[in-house]
Structure 1
Amino acid sequence: MSLRQFEYALAVAEEGSVTAAAERLRVAQPSVSQQIRGLERELGVELFARTPTGLVPTVVGRAFLRDAEAAVHAARRARATARAGAEELVGELVVTVQMGFGTRQLPGALGALRRRFPRVEVTVFEEPSSAEMDRLCRRGALDLALMAKCERTPANAHHLGDEEFVVVLGAGHPQLAAERVELRELAGEPWVRFDRDSALDGVLLQVLRDNGLTPTTVARVSQTATAVRWAAHGLGATLVPASAVPRGHEHLVRPVFPAVSQPVIAVVRPVAGPAETALLELLRQETWSEPVAQR
């Protein structure tokens, strides 16, 4: 087996056809077909099922492709590390950020990284689910993950700071007259919530329960900016990290009592390369809040 075969198989799985995969890889179609057939013969299994709508990975194929993806990514990292000079770094950096966390800090750190290493290709994914973040970290599919601390946090995680959570209320809401909103005063308030498996919704639900509140869910959204905008229009209150509030909505935001904060961590792959090491240091230099005191 070769990395080329792995790359061809991954391209076929993503494109759903040999023809499309060949076009993307800029190689001849017979070459892709030959490599896939050779790979299946060597493994003794069928990786793809031929259907009227295209090629679909089999159950065995899906399991194989997960490991193939990790192997290809590891090879790219190794090449990038080998080619790295004192001030010249070429390669790919895959970063996943948990939705809502590091919204203000990550862009600044990435901008500084690009200025330092302009030939590094950075790919950023936003992921709401804590469970999926954990799965991606364990698979080795990420170079760096920026996420909220949780029960499954690895021992080698790097604590960057804390995100303070704030409540967003509609224009004219009576609680906006207060400098800090006592959560119990929001009894009966409808809430704009997040996807059920997201870390943000977990924080919101736990905070409300801790304060004896049973949330009435008026809507569920996937993005913090959407939650803030809907809350601003009076649909219901929402609770988000302070750094995730879009510009122009600051006047509708208040800290809460009891105060709510969440530790933010960075997890890098076990053998960190120069790009992820540099990004980690840049993230440390960004402004993060200290743990919020319970006032």
Structure 2
Amino acid sequence: MSLRQYEYALAVAEAGSVTAAAELLHVAQPSMSQQIRGLERELGVQLFARTPTGLVPTVVGRAFLREAQVAVSASRRARATARAGADELTGELTVAVQMGFGTRQLPGALAALRRRYPRLEVTVFEEQSSAELDRLCGKGVLDLALMAACERTPADAHRLGEEEFVVVLGDGCAQLAADRVELRDLGGEPWVRFDRDSALDGVLLSVLRENDLTPVTAARVSQTATAVRWAAHGLGVTLVPASAVPQGYEHLVRPASPSVFQPVIAVLRQEAGPAETALLELLREENWSESRSPSASGSASLSAVS
């Protein structure tokens, strides 16, 4: 088995067909087909099943691809580190963010990183589940992650600041007349919530329980921007990270009382290379306290910092 075969298999899983994967990697389709068949023969398993919508990984294939991704990521990091010079850092950097975190700060840091290392390729994705994010960190798949809590050592986990959670109200709601929203005044209000395994829904539930509120679920969504828009249209109130509020909806946002915030922790992979180390320093230079409001009646921190 070779890393090239791993890369081919990962490309097929992403593209859904050998032909599309070959075009993506600029490889001849017959050559890629031969490599995939050779990999399956050597492993003694079927990695992909043919369906009406294309090739999809089998159960065994999905397990193999998870480990293949770890191996390919490690190889890319090794090549990038070996080629790193004063201004010639190349390779791929994989960054994951807990849903809603760093929406204002991460783009500026990444733009500065690209200006410093223009040949560096950066992949960023948001993850709803904090448990999955921590698992990916432990597997070595991620170069850097932004999250609220982790079990890593202080050498790998770096606190950047705090992310305040704010209440989003419907246009014309009476509570908009106040500077802050008393959470206990929201009893009986319907809520726009998040997917059940989402860290954001965990925050919302914790806040409601701490304020003796029973949630009435109006809807569940996957994205913070969707929750804000639906709340703005009067479907229900919602609670989101302040930095995740889309432009144009700021007039419908109020700090909560008691205030709600979570720490923002940057977690580096073990034996971090120059790219992720540079990104960490750029993130430190960003303002992580601009969205926090003075506490009107105390504050509630939902996660301890490791």
Q: TM-score, normalised by structure 2?
A: 0.88
Residue-by-residue CA offset, 1:89-113 (whole Å, 9 max, x unaligned): 1111111111111111111111111
Aligned equivalent of 1:286: 286
Deviation at 1:145, TM superposition (A): 0.8
Instruction: State the Cα RMSD in Å.
Output: 2.1
Change over 3 Å in CA distance of 1:45–1:214 after alignment to 2: same
SS of the residue aligned with 2:266? strand
For the pair 1:86 / 2:86, whether they are aligned, the reply is yes
Q: Using the alignment, how far apart are the partners of 1:63 and 1:204 within structure 2?
A: 33
For the pair 1:154 / 2:152, whether they are aligned, the reply is yes
Change over 3 Å in CA distance of 1:121–1:209 after alignment to 2: same
Deviation at 1:143, TM superposition (A): 1.1
Number of residue pairs matched?
A: 293
Q: After TM superposition, where is structure 1 displaced by more than 6 Å over at least 4 residues in a row? A: none
Deviation at 1:284, TM superposition (A): 0.9
Give identity over the alignment, percent. Answer: 80
For the pair 1:233 / 2:230, whether they are aligned, the reply is no
Residue-by-residue CA offset, 1:67-109 (whole Å, 9 max, x unaligned): 1111111111111111111122111111111111111111111
Deviation at 1:19, TM superposition (A): 3.2
Query: 1:111-122 counterparts in 2 under 5 A?
Result: 111-122=111-122
1:106–1:283: 8 Å Cα contact kept in structure 2? yes
Aligned equivalent of 2:273: 273
Q: Using the alignment, how far apart are the partners of 1:2 and 1:135 within structure 2?
A: 26
Deviation at 1:219, TM superposition (A): 1.4
For the pair 1:196 / 2:196, whether they are aligned, the reply is yes
Aligned equivalent of 1:34: 34
Deviation at 1:60, TM superposition (A): 2.8
Q: Which amino acid aligns with 2:280?
A: L
Residue-by-residue CA offset, 1:26-82 (whole Å, 9 max, x unaligned): 223332233233323333434344567654433333222211111111111111111
For the pair 1:106 / 2:106, whether they are aligned, the reply is yes
Change over 3 Å in CA distance of 1:117–1:59 after alignment to 2: same
Q: Using the alignment, how far apart are the partners of 1:50 and 1:254 within structure 2?
A: 51
SS of the residue aligned with 2:112? helix
Q: Which amino acid aligns with 1:186?
A: L
Q: Using the alignment, how far apart are the partners of 1:44 and 1:102 within structure 2?
A: 44
Change over 3 Å in CA distance of 1:123–1:53 after alignment to 2: closer
SS of the residue aligned with 2:196? coil
Query: 1:127-142 counterparts in 2 under 5 A?
Result: 127-142=127-142
Change over 3 Å in CA distance of 1:25–1:214 after alignment to 2: same
Aligned equivalent of 1:183: 183
Q: TM-score, normalised by structure 1?
A: 0.91
Q: Using the alignment, how far apart are the partners of 2:143 and 2:56 within structure 1?
A: 28
Q: Using the alignment, how far apart are the partners of 2:104 and 2:171 within structure 1?
A: 24
Q: Which amino acid aligns with 2:218?
A: V
2:6–2:72: 8 Å Cα contact kept in structure 1? yes
Change over 3 Å in CA distance of 1:291–1:264 after alignment to 2: farther
SS of the residue aligned with 1:259? strand
What 5-or-longer segments of structure 2 have no aligned partner? 300-306
1:261–1:291: 8 Å Cα contact kept in structure 2? no
What 5-or-longer segments of structure 1 have no aligned partner? none
For the pair 1:244 / 2:240, whether they are aligned, the reply is no
Aligned equivalent of 1:47: 47
Change over 3 Å in CA distance of 1:51–1:176 after alignment to 2: closer
Which is further off, 17-26 or 97-106?
17-26
Which is further off, 132-141 or 8-17?
8-17
Aligned equivalent of 1:21: 21
Change over 3 Å in CA distance of 1:185–1:291 after alignment to 2: closer
Change over 3 Å in CA distance of 1:243–1:17 after alignment to 2: closer
Q: Which amino acid aligns with 1:101?
A: F
